[in-house]
Amino acid sequence: MKKWILLVALIICTLSRTQSFAQSSDVETLEKGIYLVVGSFQNKGNALRFRNKLIDEKKAANISFSDKTSFYYVHIKIFSSVEEAILAVKTTRESTSYTDAWVLAYSPDSGLTAISSIPENETPPVKEPNDNAEDVEVSADAAIVSPAILSSDAPKRDIEPKEVEIKKYSPELFITEKKQYKIIFNTFNIITLSKVTGSVKIVDPDRLKLVRSVRAHEVAYVNEPHNQSNSVQFIAEIFGYKKAQHDLKLDEEMTEDTKAFLKVEGDTLVVDFPLKRYEKGDVAIMYNVFFYKDAAIMKPESQFELSSLLELLQEKSGYNIQISGHTNGNAGGKIIEIDSEVPEYFSLSQATKEKNGSAKKLSLKRAEIIQKYLLNNGIAAARMQVKGFGGKMPIYDKFDRLASKNVRVEIEILQ
């Protein structure tokens, strides 16, 4: 009898928690108020996941949707005055991991205003609470920026020169004194929404020239292109994911196309890269896997890309792959291999053996050492094929200045 009582109690508890979660997933319409915002999203699912993360951290978080901006705002508090909200944002930034928290003030009459920065040298006074949310006065030191924020067509108010009430995206608001744009490239897995680490290339499309590569998820200062079209290309080509590209004219207002991937957090432009995994038939080159000369032993800097391959196979348990090794030319020579049951994949300071062999055999041994790395990390042998092609399939002529790229390993998704 006691077992039945416990079972019923457990079912009731589970249903109660499910109902509670269902209620907590509701999205409200943005109403008049002053909000402490910790995240803004165009995708409802992303907003819900972020809000649930906050709830797991024991924070009272809610989501409000604005039909003016088509954004979902995740906020943790509502205030009656901007000064009070600024104090709370400062505390939030200093005492939590949400260092991009900002204030969103909204009323049907005056539209939406974003306050992203905190005055550094003065503490704003806290006014007594009032119900007049549209009576917003902000310190002149507070920067107000965001292309995700649109105000109504209400008449302009007399405000301090450093305050800007944004009616539409104005690129000049995001450019520094050095004529640079402060940008973060947000690369993430489109299915799991997890962060993907890697680099993003900045390309001048007029000159067909790589300007530089920058790390994703870190602040990058991007120069104005100074080309005829005043445009740049951002390319995310991260191993394990399909290539993704955005073209952007930095001096033009946002369009429906750019709104799909461009947003603002505080005073920073954020370029979203939702990345898709490889599919059957895709072939990826492991350009960042390097081998010691004449050796089937990898250099330490190869670990990141190998980890990416392992992560791909762990995430996609139905994928089978072919690992293909290639060399620059077909000349034979010595081959250095690991002579150990527990190899150090990234070091020459271990037991090795040396013998002569063809370029094809060297390329096969290099493919096999990657296979062995994956085997020792839990990937079944049946999911992998290995081949060595030597110098039969070059990308460049073997005397080209880029001929070193012929020495490579390719991964083909078979299933």
Q: What is the CATH number of the domain that holds 271?
A: 2.60.40
Residue where one domain finishes, among candidates 137, 168, 199: 168
**236 lies in the same domain as 300:** no
Distances (CA, A) of 316 to 193, 313, 320: 15, 5, 9
Q: Would you say 106 and 30 are in contact if contact means Cβ atoms under 8 Å apart? A: yes
The reported pLDDT for the residue numbered 5 is 45
The reported pLDDT for the residue numbered 375 is 94
Q: Would you say 407 and 319 are in contact if contact means Cβ atoms under 8 Å apart? A: no
The reported pLDDT for the residue numbered 124 is 38
Q: Would you say 103 and 84 are in contact if contact means Cβ atoms under 8 Å apart? A: no
The reported pLDDT for the residue numbered 158 is 36
Q: Would you say 248 and 258 are in contact if contact means Cβ atoms under 8 Å apart? A: yes
**144 lies in the same domain as 197:** no
Q: Do strands 321-326 and 333-338 pair parallel, antiparallel, or not at all (unpaired)? A: unpaired
d(CA 114, CA 145): 6
**178 lies in the same domain as 262:** yes
Query: Which is it for the CA torsion 68, 69, 71, 72, positive or negative?
Result: negative
d(CA 322, CA 280): 11
- CATH at residue 75: 3.30.70.1070
d(CA 415, CA 399): 36
**154 lies in the same domain as 59:** yes
The reported pLDDT for the residue numbered 309 is 94
Angular region, 141: left φ>0, alpha ψ -120 to 50, beta rest = alpha
d(CA 182, CA 172): 12
Is 370 buried (19+), middle (13-18) or exposed (0-12) by CB count in 10 A? Answer: buried
Q: Look-up: residue for tokens 């348990």?
A: 317
**147 lies in the same domain as 200:** no
Q: Which of 263, 274, 273, 272 is nearest to 116 (CA)?
A: 263
Domain count, the chain: 3
**22 lies in the same domain as 7:** yes
Residue where one domain finishes, among candidates 147, 168, 189: 168
d(CA 111, CA 150): 7
Predicted TM-score (pTM) of the model is 0.55
Pull the structure tokens for residue 11.
Answer: 């079912």
**113 lies in the same domain as 210:** no
Q: 51 pairs with which residues across the strands?
A: none
**259 lies in the same domain as 315:** no
Mean pLDDT by 10 residues, the chain (415 residues): 45 41 63 84 79 82 82 81 79 77 74 53 38 37 32 33 37 66 91 90 91 92 85 93 90 77 82 93 92 92 92 92 94 89 82 91 96 94 96 90 91 92
Residue where one domain finishes, among candidates 168, 198, 214: 168
